[in-house]
């Protein structure tokens, strides 16, 4: 089965990003595919290279980066939502890319299931 994942919440103010990450890990471990992870609304904050969590805390951004590297995942940040929150190419963490809502629509079309995390 092919999944599309939408993340609507930031990495440290809501459980949605952690839940989406764990979900993606689980479906990949079971042999399914993840077509794309689309970060929307406050979810774009998952893609900033300016985040510096304490060393004893989880690093959600690095978790997404490693998962994407290991499984060749497409991590897409909504351009409009990103601009509103100061996420531009210069502040984007490696492994993420900025694009428009067409990428979200394509994920919904290409995936067998689209799963949304956060409001």
* Residue 78 is a catalytic residue: yes
Contact 67, 17 (CB under 8 A): no
Contact 35, 3 (CB under 8 A): yes
- Of these residues, 47, 76, 78, 98, which one is catalytic? 78
Contact 61, 107 (CB under 8 A): no
DSSP state of 93: P
Gap between the Cα atoms of 25 and 58, Å rounded: 16
Residues with a catalytic annotation lie at 78
């Amino acid at each position: 089965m092919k999944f599309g994942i939408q993340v609507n919440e930031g990495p440290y103010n809501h459980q949605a990003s952690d839940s989406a990450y764990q979900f993606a890990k689980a479906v990949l471990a079971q042999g399914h595919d993840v077509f794309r992870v689309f970060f929307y609304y406050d979810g774009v904050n998952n893609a900033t290279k300016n985040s510096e969590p304490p060393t004893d805390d989880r690093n959600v951004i690095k978790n997404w980066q490693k998962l994407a590297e290991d499984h060749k995942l497409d991590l897409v940040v909504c351009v409009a939502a990103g601009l509103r929150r100061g996420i531009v190419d210069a502040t984007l963490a490696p492994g993420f890319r900025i694009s428009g809502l067409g990428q979200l629509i394509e994920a919904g079309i290409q995936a067998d299931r689209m799963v949304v995390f956060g409001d």
